[in-house]
Amino acid sequence: MTQEMRVLGIDIAKRVFHAVGMDERGQIVLRKRLSRQALMPFIAQLPPVLIGMEACGGSHYWARRFRAHGHDVKLLQGWRHDAPDRVGEASAKGPTA
């Protein structure tokens, strides 16, 4: 399943993270709820993908960690924190206005 994933949208929070993976056509191929402890092992086993997440206080920390594993990270502003699939969609479409 993750072999066809090109974009991963992540909703970051204090304890639980929601990830939504999409293929090159924008179809959702993965929905996963991860604990803080499970997030980095999950990211580390993925092939390089584009990761989109909302720009906030902790996002720069996570972006550095994700980039260390070879992923491209895009920080987006103005998204609702409860819609990680929208973050993934926006990442797939390109830069925001």
What is the residue extent of each domain of the chain? 2-93
Bridge-based pairing state of the strands 50-54 and 7-11: parallel
Instruction: Please state, as a whole number, how many other Cβ atoms lie within 10 Å of the Cβ of residue 1.
Output: 8
Percent over 90 (pLDDT), the chain: 58
Distance (Å, whole) CA 31 – CA 29: 7
Bridge-based pairing state of the strands 72-76 and 50-54: parallel
Q: Which CATH number fits domain 2-93: 3.30.420.140, 1.10.150.120, 3.40.50.10540, 3.65.10.10?
A: 3.30.420.140
- Judged against a pLDDT cut of 90, whether residue 80 lies above it is answered with no
pLDDT in tens, 30-74: 999 999 999 999 999 999 999 999 888 889 999 999 999 999 999
Q: Is 0.75 surpassed by the pTM of this model? A: yes
3-state SS record for 4-54: HCCEEEEECCCCEEEEEEECCCCCEEEEEEEEHHHHHHHHHCCCCCEEEEE
**What's residue 96's pLDDT?**
45
Residue 72 near residue 83 (C-beta atoms within 8 A)? no
